[in-house]
Amino acid sequence: GGTVHLVCRNKERAEVARQEIVTETGNQNIFLHIVDLSNPKEIWKFAEKFRNEHKLNVLINNAGCMVNNRELTEDGLEKNFATNTLGTYIMTTALVPLLEKAADARVITVSSGGMLVQKLNISDLQSGNGTFDGTMVYAQNKRQQVVMTEQWAKAHRNIHFSVMHPGWADTPAVRSSMPDFYERMKNSLRTEAQGADTVLWLAVSAEATKLPSGLFFQDRQPVPTHLPLAYTHSPPEDEEKLMEVLEEFSQKFKSASPG
């Protein structure tokens, strides 16, 4: 019954997904927007246009990547950081003014339990130092998403923010970016529907918003963002610094965005 806007990178695959939804639900209000979320200027351009033309009740940040070799975008940004962290930051902050106008507005960011192995590291956001390990870079980005969510929850009291771990699901992304993990685990991975369950619950259920904003969820339950004795807590000033740096990046690309 909802109006759904799919923001996708690949037009052909997006069209197939859109058609599947329309066929299965009979809902014609499924709209496509082709945006590369590793390109900050494109995100700004999309968000500014979207704000003028649509209303928004729920934003789900689900796009992500795990690139296993250090690649730079055309803007000179490391690709995992550009997509998972900066892309999520710009998309969310650019749409906050629209969400502020809605009753019961929500933002859900799809993180990963992998973030539990990483402590926030603001000294090397572009992973330029030392050996590049795509899995750890991805985990660091997912930790950054948890921190962003906690900070947004403090700053925007009338929007309900949450971040979640979908569990390890059998998706094309897991197969291509983590082939060894996939081979070991393929018989115990979740289906895509199981992976999406908590996302949908956070998006539409009345129960979810009875819980405080800014929490990390797994299987419809808030769970800790740090393992016991893992020493992954970071000082508040590091968390604030992350937001400052992302805001600087964001504004730099905003001024450069066409239109």
CATH 3.40.50.720: which residues of the chain?
38-252
Residue 138 a catalytic site member:
yes
Cα 110 vs. chain centroid, distance in angstroms?
5
- pLDDT band with cut points at 50, 70 and 90 for residue 177: low
Average pLDDT for 101-111: 97
CATH class entry, domain 38-252: alpha beta
Beta carbons within 10 angstroms of residue 45's beta carbon: 17
Rounded-to-integer distance, Cα 142 and Cα 133, Å = 14
In this prediction the pTM is 0.93
Residue type, 108: I
For 20-66, write each residue's pLDDT tens digit.
999 999 999 999 999 999 999 999 999 999 999 999 999 999 999 99
* Residue-level pLDDT at 115: 95
Position 55: which residue type? K
- Choice among 89, 138, 182, 231 that is catalytic: 138
